[in-house]
């Protein structure tokens, strides 16, 4: 995947990010989790993800206090959506890389507010070990979401999408993604480390500390 080189338009990011704190507070009062953590039957063992979830629990604080480390991590390897070239993509295509998987749509106001922060996180931390993957769920063509991303100056996020909303339906079956935005931290084996229901300031020091500790290798 080639990363765009157009410079980030930080001034527009600032305008959208300014209202994020208020959006988080408002959505937190309305966002409902539809069920407890669970496993997809027949999936791989997600022991490593469970250990990572326990390790980063103390870092789910401040701007990411609503992040829920998984107590029974889901195997997400079979989740399918479309890549920048419109070809099918599964989580196995990101094997050996930790992924922050974000589901969003242009009609979702909190999604729009947090998008500049997700772009900034990818610009700051994206590398061979970590990637922010935002999957657009607009049911129309790509014109509207792409125009929105261009308008707010997004330059480091690749365009992933699923107009069928199949990924949303699959996650809802296992009590995830009960609304938008939903953001799941996924380990290099394709297992859930934890999930955020609602928006967050993903470019904050709290968010980066959470992710850096998820990436940290255990001491030998």
Is the previous residue joined to 181 through a cis bond, with omega within 30 degrees of 0? yes
Q: What percent of the chain has pLDDT over 70?
A: 79
Q: What are the extents of the domains in the chain?
A: 10-215
Alpha helices in the chain (DSSP H): 10-17, 20-30, 47-56, 109-125, 143-151, 166-173, 205-215
Mean pLDDT of all residues belonging to the chain = 85
List Cα–Cα distances, 28 to 9, 23, 53, in angstroms.
29, 8, 22
Rounded Cα–Cα distance for residues 106 and 138 (Å): 7
List Cα–Cα distances, 212 to 57, 173, 174, 196, 203, in angstroms.
13, 30, 27, 17, 12
E strand or H helix that includes residue 121: helix 109-125
Rounded Cα–Cα distance for residues 33 and 179 (Å): 8
Position with higher pLDDT, 145 vs 19? 145
Tokens found for residue 151: 């308008």
pLDDT in tens, 68-99: 999 999 999 999 999 999 999 999 999 999 99
Q: What is the CATH number of domain 10-215?
A: 3.40.30.10
Cβ atoms within 10 Å of 47's Cβ, excluding its own: 11
Q: Considering the entire predicted model, what is its pTM?
A: 0.81
Residue 58 contacts by C-beta under 8 Å, 6 or more apart in sequence? Answer: none
């Amino acid at each position: 995947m080639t990363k765009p080189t157009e410079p980030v338009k930080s001034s527009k990011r600032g305008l959208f990010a300014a209202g994020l704190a208020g959006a988080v507070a408002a959505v937190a009062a309305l966002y409902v989790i539809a069920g407890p953590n669970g496993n997809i039957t027949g999936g791989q063992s997600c022991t490593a993800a469970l250990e990572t979830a326990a390790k980063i629990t103390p870092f789910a604080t401040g701007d990411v206090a609503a992040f829920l480390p998984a107590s029974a991590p889901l195997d997400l390897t079979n989740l399918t959506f479309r890549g920048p070239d419109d070809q099918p993509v599964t989580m196995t295509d990101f094997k050996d890389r930790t992924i922050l998987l974000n589901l969003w749509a242009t009609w979702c106001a909190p999604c729009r507010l947090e998008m500049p922060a997700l772009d900034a996180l990818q610009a700051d931390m994206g590398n061979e070990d970590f990637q922010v993957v935002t999957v657009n769920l607009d049911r129309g063509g790509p014109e509207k979401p792409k125009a929105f991303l261009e308008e707010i100056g997004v330059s480091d996020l690749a365009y992933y999408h699923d107009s069928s909303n199949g990924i949303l339906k699959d996650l809802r079956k296992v009590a995830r993604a009960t609304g938008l935005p939903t953001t799941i931290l996924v380990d290099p084996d394709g297992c859930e480390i934890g999930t955020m229901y609602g928006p967050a300031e993903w470019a904050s020091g709290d968010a980066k500390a959470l992710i850096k500790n998820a990436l940290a290798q255990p001491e030998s």
